[in-house]
Amino acid sequence: MYDEIVEIAENKAYLNAVRNETYGPNLDLLRRFPAYSSLADYENELRQQDKLTFSQIFHEPIGYYLLKCFLIADYSVDKAVFISDCELFKKMRDPSARLKLAKLIFERFVADDGAKYPMGESVFERRRKRRALGQRNTLTDGLSDPDEGSLNKLSLQIGKTNAIGVYGKAVNDARERLAKGDAPKTLFDEIAQEVLNDLRLDVFPRFSNSEFFEKYIRAKSLERIEVTHKDFTMLRVLGRGAFGAVTACVKNDTGKLYAAKCIDKRRVMATDAVDSIMSERNLLAMMDSNFVCCLKYAVQDNDTLYLMLDLMMGGDLKYHLNKEVVFSETRSRFHAAEILLGLEHLHSKSIIYRDVKLENVLLDEKGHCRISDLGLAVLTKGRVKGYAGTPGYTAPEVIVMQPYDKACDFFSYGVMVYRFLSGKKPFGPHTGSTDLDKNVLNAEVEYSDEYFSSTAKSLLQGLLQKDPTQRLGVRGIDEIKQHPWFDSVDWGLLEAGYLSPPFVPKLDEVNAESMRHMGRSTNDEKYRKVRLTDEFQKSLSNFPFKSYHALQREIVEVLERADEGVNFEKFAPKPPAPEPDVKPRSTGCCSLQ
């Protein structure tokens, strides 16, 4: 009874935090900004390190936000938004989707009637908001063409204005290519270069002499503050692992929510697992993807190591599949596509993941997927040998202890997609044995027409090839991305985060098991008796970590909350007073000068 009451209380605290009813961007942080007058040495240090250039500031979260604020005051924010949209446009891979977005970008920023749009509005953000109002059947629906008539009227006559102030040959060339249905990734390069030159040579010097720049220096100076375990408050336990619990937590100074992977030092010492823990910490610190849980902070106290990761409020895919039995093909495709992008990021870092499974894929509050838990991942340029993984998912070459490479992840990935579509294990006990690894080696996979379309079957037959040299993806991950089952996916838009998931988790419930069902390790008492040595503590001296990008994002969220409703135009420089119109007294004659 007591445990039930405790769980109810912790669930309520957690849900309130998720809904920003208890926590959220903490405006008290603004009081911690040092006075600009006290930061002269810090500013000089940044200048000496070339960290106050236009490119550096423009691509930092705090810098980009405050540059946009300055540009709003300067009535030219569309220039920064245009550059950001162009950077996303260049990542798009689907030619038809790229053509549609190219027309929208042209109409929004380059056409002479671009001023009809709200200032500072991104084409991508506008499309995402409109698509969010109604779900689509494919991953490229919702990208409708702009009014063709308006494209035919894109004459850049003298006296006409557009949102970015660029005219001439570069604009005419882009317009002509669009009229022919041609939208290469380089379409806006010349126009973007002119805008960048204007931002760098005209806008940036004025920004550097503004109060927005002073605010940038003040906010950035918080990067110097050490982050410790005392900066976090623990909330609800979300799960348990081999070395301890995963707990939702809040960073006190900014109000940002994270998931804390709590690692019991006594277990680490007793199992001689320092190298394993440091390996996971180092691999997580390498992550920079929206499809992998990334390390934000690593802190410790006397008894526990804490890895602070993205809080995925939607729960794991095993939890959701158990509730729903099967996923629709549309939902399966969306999850599979995002997971594949996560694997692509890992493989690009020379990492073999080795533990693709339902439990290790988490959903955020919007329904996007991230791969979690790099405990079994290995960094290697070549092949490795040794069993690692989860029975039923593990590739045949891993089971028989042959040297293997990244292709083993594609086999496990295939098992997971099979489970999405059918709700069944392809190598479960029904295939001949309770030994799942034995089934992987010997059993043939069944593909019922009830669950698998022809393209889904083709994909899975390629992924579940027992011979790794014949497996789909062995010649590169693009081989999987180009499979017909993924034809409706625009990988560029998906990677940029501008496609809406077909499933959004409910945030009025805890998307995790009951804490009472998680249990505790039977070895808790045994490890409690372990005495930590000074030598062991020293071996963890390199454990602490701080992501400056994560910290900057937290600060931007606080600034955004503080700036809600602010009219930045009031900061615009005042125009010079006009010369007094004093007419000289007429002399009754005129002079030619």
pLDDT of 408-421, one tens digit each? 999 999 999 999 99
pLDDT tens digits for range 466-503: 999 999 999 999 999 999 999 999 888 898 888 899 99
Residue 134, pLDDT > 60, answer no
DSSP string covering 181-218, please?
T---TTTTHHHHHHHHHHIIIIIHHHHTTSHHHHHHHH
355 in active site: yes
- Among residues 85, 316, 355, 373, the one annotated as catalytic is 355
DSSP-assigned beta bridge partners for residue 545: 298
Residue 140, pLDDT > 60, answer no
Taking CA atoms, 161 is separated from 82, 154, 179, 188, 189, in Å, by 15, 11, 20, 18, 20
Report the range of poorest mean pLDDT among 32-36, 163-167, 419-423, 470-474: 163-167
Confidence (pLDDT) at 160: 52
As a whole number, mean pLDDT of residues 121-133 equals: 65
As a whole number, mean pLDDT of residues 79-92 equals: 87
240: confidence class by pLDDT, cuts 50, 70, 90: confident
As a whole number, mean pLDDT of residues 500-510 equals: 83
Confidence (pLDDT) at 509: 62
93: confidence class by pLDDT, cuts 50, 70, 90: confident
146: confidence class by pLDDT, cuts 50, 70, 90: very low
**Residue 412 contacts residue 425 (beta carbons within 8 Å):** no
**Residue 75 contacts residue 123 (beta carbons within 8 Å):** no
Confidence (pLDDT) at 148: 42
**Residue 268 contacts residue 238 (beta carbons within 8 Å):** no
Residue 593, pLDDT > 50, answer no
CATH of span 53-207: 1.10.167
DSSP string covering 508-553, please?
SS--S--HHHH---TTHHHHHTPPPPHHHHHTTTT--EE-HHHHHH
Residue 44, pLDDT > 70, answer yes
Report the range of poorest mean pLDDT among 76-80, 377-381, 521-525, 580-584: 580-584
Q: What is the rounded distance in angstroms from the CA atom of residue 71 to the CA atom of residue 572? A: 9
Report the range of poorest mean pLDDT among 206-220, 241-255, 400-414, 459-473: 241-255
pTM above 0.75, yes or no: yes
**Residue 373 contacts residue 329 (beta carbons within 8 Å):** no
Confidence (pLDDT) at 122: 80
Confidence (pLDDT) at 585: 40
241: confidence class by pLDDT, cuts 50, 70, 90: confident
Residue 291: exposed, middle, or buried by beta-carbon count in 10 A (0-12, 13-18, 19+)?
buried
Q: Quick one: residue 435, left, alpha or beta (phi over 0 = left, psi -120 to 50 = alpha)?
A: beta
As a whole number, mean pLDDT of residues 25-44 equals: 94
Burial 83-103 (b: 16+ CB within 10 A, else e): bbbbebbbebbbeebbbbbbb
What percentage of the chain has pLDDT greater than the value 90?
65
Confidence (pLDDT) at 394: 97
Residue 114, pLDDT > 60, answer no
Report the range of poorest mean pLDDT among 117-126, 150-159, 188-197, 291-300: 150-159
**Residue 326 contacts residue 379 (beta carbons within 8 Å):** no
Domain boundaries, the chain: 53-207, 226-313+512-546, 316-496
17: confidence class by pLDDT, cuts 50, 70, 90: low
Report the range of poorest mean pLDDT among 20-24, 297-301, 410-414, 507-511: 20-24
Between 60 and 93, where is the model more confident?
Answer: 60
14: confidence class by pLDDT, cuts 50, 70, 90: low
**Residue 260 contacts residue 249 (beta carbons within 8 Å):** yes
Residue 428, pLDDT > 70, answer yes
Q: E strands, 142-281, where?
A: 232-240, 245-251, 257-264
Between 579 and 42, where is the model more confident?
Answer: 42
Confidence (pLDDT) at 526: 76
Place of tokens 């602010």: 566
Domain 316-496, CATH homologous superfamily name and number: Transferase(Phosphotransferase) domain 1 (1.10.510.10)
Residue 123, pLDDT > 90, answer no
Neighbours of 151 (CB within 10 A): 16
Place of tokens 């005051």: 73
Between 48 and 74, where is the model more confident?
Answer: 48
Confidence (pLDDT) at 92: 79
Confidence (pLDDT) at 588: 36
Q: Is 296 annotated as a binding residue?
A: no
Domain 226-313+512-546, CATH homologous superfamily name and number: Phosphorylase Kinase; domain 1 (3.30.200.20)
**What length does the chain have?**
593
Tell me the average pLDDT of the chain. 85
Tokens linked to 264: 């019991």
591: confidence class by pLDDT, cuts 50, 70, 90: very low
As a whole number, mean pLDDT of residues 498-515 equals: 75
